[in-house]
Amino acid sequence: MRAHRPDDAIAVLGLTATDLWPGEEWNFVFGMATYDQRVGVWSVARFGDPAQDRLGLLRRMLKTALHETGHMFTMHHCTAWNCLMSGSNNLRETDRRTMDACPECTAKIWVLSGCDPAARFQALAKLAGEHDLDAEQAQWLKAAETLVAP
């Protein structure tokens, strides 16, 4: 995929409905990304039927896309917390993982991206609200308010 990443792109993340596996010793992976080339791909092949659980499928998709994006920005799996960057070997682990990063990984995101933390949480809350992700919206609004409170 690196050959297809435009020179002005920060990263490129592909989406497929095809199962992914990085080698013979693997069963499958939900996604793969490189730390150095900033390219990755993730699959919805094992995420379930959107007609059965639209919000559940959306959460799985967002968690996986965000997780792989973290890898493209040199973030490794988090083993200290249940967080967005925690590894996931099955749907139960994916569903248990939060959609946001833990305090340690959040700090890494701020350093790596140079973003305004309060503005990031406000944008995440807006996105969550647009897609009926009520619990996530409440969490991110609270985080944004906490960061701007005196």
Task: Return the HEC string of the chain.
Answer: CHHHCCCCCCCEEEEECCCECCCCCCCCECEEECCCCCEEEEECCCCCCCCCCHHHHHHHHHHHHHHHHHHHCCCCCCCCCCCCCCCCCCHHHHHHCCCCCCHHHHHHHHHHHCCCHHHHHHHHHHHHHHCCCHHHHHHHHHHHHHHHCC
User: Is 145 annotated as catalytic?
Assistant: no
Q: Which of 68, 93, 130, 136 is catalytic?
A: 68
Q: Which residues are catalytic?
A: 68
